[in-house]
């Protein structure tokens, strides 16, 4: 928080955290019955979107070099396939637990990164590409996931009465 | 782009621009008839959300000290009141034009701000509060509006077939 660089980084990090809090608050307000519904006729269910958000957030761990994903089996059901794929989904109750586990670990691990480390390249960009495009850093992953979260939270919010 | 500070700021600014582009692309893909529909039964129409996004983005101008809002009359219809308020809305065709005018001006004016200026306080925070909370700067306004945009773009995307 001493220099200007830190302020810009802090803003991005705070934005990610507040989007996560907003999402958690919304999920608590919704019953399992509400989450089982489609956000709009023939569109994704809240159930699918919850699994999707866990799978995407879980993937931040390896992307930032913070360890392996916890629930890599979710990728098949909630990223590679659509809601009505016919693949069996974990229950909403199970996903609610995974949501909290992933996010708690994510917040703890990212908090330990220094500002210097947040400006290092993320793991899916090569050294050569990073030299040319220094904005492809870990902070950028955090920001793009904050946006991704906002996009789907706007949809899940439609399930509120 | 030379130092790290600039990279963090560039990431936020790029995120705002790409969210705007994404929104514009989506709006082009949707017909006026589609935008007139509710995003989900008994929820906001695309028409209302388009007006809402213009009004909120338009308000960035005074907030960053870049001049007056262009269409301050939209605040009453699209921010202070809900979709079914009974207040008359500009047509979708008129709003499409305003969307482009506001965003073009916004991008031009923000591009002229230096990184130093983006880290200055925005106009609705006092000097005293800014001294205590230096993250309440112009860059933070840009980031929070990028998030706001993503939230509603997720909803408007539901109008696609």
Please spell the DSSP secondary structure of A109-132, one letter per residue: HHHTS-HHHHTSBPTTS-HHHHHH
Q: Which of B26, B58, B49, B14 is nearest to B152 (CA)?
A: B49
Three-state secondary structure call for residue B13: helix
- A41–B43: do the CB atoms touch at under 8 Å? no
Work out how many CB contacts closer than 8 A connect A with B: 94
Domains in chain A, please, with CATH? 4-159 (1.20.120.450)
A1 touches chain B (CB under 8 A): yes
B144 touches chain A (CB under 8 A): yes
Name which of A39, A114, A151 to mutate to probe chain B: the one with the most chain B Cβ atoms within 10 A of its Cβ: A151
DSSP, residue by residue, B73-90: THHHHHTSS-GGG-PPPP
Q: What pLDDT score was predicted for residue A1?
A: 32
A133 touches chain B (CB under 8 A): no
A118-161 tens-digit pLDDT: 999 999 999 999 999 999 999 999 999 999 999 999 999 999 98
Residue B75 has phi, psi (to 5 degrees) of -60, -45
Task: Kindly tell me the sign of the dihedral angle through the C-alpha atoms of A2, A6, A7, A10.
Answer: negative
Q: How many CB atoms lie within 10 A of CB A43?
A: 17
Residue A4 has pLDDT above 90, yes or no: no
Residue A109 buriedness (CB in 10 A; 0-12 / 13-18 / 19+): middle
DSSP character at residue B2: -
B75-123 tens-digit pLDDT: 999 999 999 999 999 999 999 999 999 999 999 999 999 989 999 999 9
Q: How many CB atoms lie within 10 A of CB B57?
A: 23
- List the structure tokens of A18: 């507040």
A49-58 tens-digit pLDDT: 999 999 999 9
Here the ipTM equals 0.95
By Cβ distance, the residue of A40, A140, A143 closest to B40 is: A40
Single pTM value for the model:
0.95
Three-state secondary structure call for residue A38: strand
Name every residue whose Cβ is closer than 8 Å to that of residue A69 and which is 6 or more positions away in sequence: A58, A59, A61, A62, A75
Residues B123, A144: Cα–Cα separation, whole Å: 27
- B7–A137: do the CB atoms touch at under 8 Å? yes
Chain B residues with CB inside 8 Å of A148's CB?
Answer: 150
Q: What pLDDT score was predicted for residue A6?
A: 81
pLDDT band with cut points at 50, 70 and 90 for residue A5: low
Mean pLDDT of chain B, nearest integer: 95
- A140–B12: do the CB atoms touch at under 8 Å? no
B131 touches chain A (CB under 8 A): no
Mind telling me how many Å the CA of B54 is from chain A's nearest CA? 17
- B14–A135: do the CB atoms touch at under 8 Å? yes
Q: What is the mean pLDDT of residues B15-23?
A: 97
Residue B2 has pLDDT above 50, yes or no: no
Q: What pLDDT score was predicted for residue A2?
A: 40
Residues B33, B31: Cα–Cα separation, whole Å: 5
By Cβ distance, the residue of A4, A135, A154 closest to B11 is: A135
Chain A residues with CB inside 8 Å of B4's CB?
Answer: 5, 119
Chain B residues with CB inside 8 Å of A40's CB?
Answer: 39-41, 158
Q: What pLDDT score was predicted for residue A161?
A: 84
In percent, the amount of chain B with pLDDT more than 70 equals 97
Residue A3 has pLDDT above 70, yes or no: no
- List the structure tokens of B69: 């809002």
């Amino acid at each position: 928080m001493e220099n200007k660089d830190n302020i810009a980084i802090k803003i991005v990090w705070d934005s990610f955290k507040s989007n996560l809090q907003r999402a958690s608050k919304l999920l608590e307000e919704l019953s399992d019955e509400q989450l089982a519904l489609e956000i709009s006729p023939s569109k994704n269910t809240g159930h699918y979107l919850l699994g999707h958000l866990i799978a995407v957030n879980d993937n931040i761990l390896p992307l930032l070099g913070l360890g392996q994903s916890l629930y890599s089996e979710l990728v098949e059901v909630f990223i590679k396939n659509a809601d009505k794929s016919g693949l069996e989904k974990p229950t909403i109750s199970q996903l609610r637990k995974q949501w909290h586990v992933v996010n708690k670990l994510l917040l703890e691990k990212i908090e330990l990164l220094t500002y210097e480390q947040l400006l290092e390249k993320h793991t899916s960009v090569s050294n050569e590409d990073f030299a040319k495009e220094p904005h492809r850093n870990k902070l950028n992953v955090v920001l793009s996931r904050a946006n991704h979260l906002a996009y789907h939270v706007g949809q899940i919010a439609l399930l509120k009465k």
